[in-house]
Amino acid sequence: GVMEKLGLGPEVLLQENPRLIYARLTGFGQTGKYAKSAGHDINYLSVSGVLSKLGRKDENPYAPINLLADFAGGGVMCAMGIIIALYERTRSGKGQIIDASMVEGVAYLSSFLWKSQNLGLWSRPRGENMLDSGAPFYETYKTSDGKFMAVGALEPKFYEQLMKGLGLDSDKFPSQMSFSDWPKMKKKIASIFAQKTQDEWCSIFDGTDACVTPVLSFDEAASHQHNKQRSSFIKNDQEEISPRPAPLLSRTPAVPSFKRDPFIGEHTEEILREYGFTKEEITKLYSDKVIEFSKPKPNL
């Protein structure tokens, strides 16, 4: 309701410009019991049903940072809604209002979980299924140098490659899909991974289809050979590393900025002057604490 209080609600602006696309991104959406309630990623994730699926066996549900509801269910889904509305406008010539709820966005993002409930993928309690840390062939394992390897050998042919790399005879090991043996199999595989360093395991599994990869830190990811070959990460003029824009378009790839991120308030005065504000008006806004300035300090 903030924009309505300012007299800038969608109905007002769409009257001025019927082609306008007005996106409203909130946690719980514009209507419903929680519409005016405060919340964060973990709350939207919980109400969507998705949080109940995340976590290990016999542990509390676990919210993975704030990527799922905030950025995926919120930001990405809202951006997709804007793109859809822009495309529709080429046909109708009309704009519309986008009600982007993070709860609904992350629920829709998880449609696979809903649609696959009767396939046996999620028939067991949390943390005991194939993709939620229950399976020994879809798990992370600690190496002798305190690092980790990620294993995703789902298909039988990939599983065979995993067994080979670990030096195990699959004929003498329990069947891949023997659920009752999974805890025992996991312990055995963990004991083997603990015998070598991450680099040693990479030398064994790189170039195979075992679906075994190193768990990399941010610094390691940026310097990893595969990512370097694709220029997947970039450095700005302050030597700060960040991901290159994705996905990569063949004809019109994004051109990343190599400048550092601006400080909050760094360009406030400059922008207000461009819009015709006088120095006196800007000074008054600053003294009334409506705006703030933040000029970078020179490196002497």
Which is catalytic among the residues 40, 145, 209, 219? 40
Q: Is the link from the previous residue into 18 a cis peptide, with omega within 30 of 0?
A: no
Task: Provide mean pLDDT across the span 45-55.
Answer: 97
Q: What is the pLDDT of residues 174-187, one digit of tens each?
A: 999 999 999 999 99
Statement: residue 298 has pLDDT above 60: no
Domains in the chain with CATH codes: 2-119 (3.40.50.10540), 138-215 (3.30.1540.10), 260-299 (no CATH)
Q: What is the pLDDT of residues 249-278, one digit of tens each?
A: 999 999 988 998 888 899 999 999 999 999
**226 is annotated as an active-site residue:** no
The reported pTM is: 0.87
Q: What is the pLDDT of residues 93-110, one digit of tens each?
A: 999 999 999 999 999 999
Contact 29, 103 (CB under 8 A): yes
Statement: residue 47 has pLDDT above 60: yes
**40 is annotated as an active-site residue:** yes
Burial 21-55 (b: 16+ CB within 10 A, else e): bbebbbbbbeeeebeeeebebbbbbbbbebbebbb
pLDDT the model gives residue 261: 86
Q: Tell me the β-bridge partners of 141.
A: 149
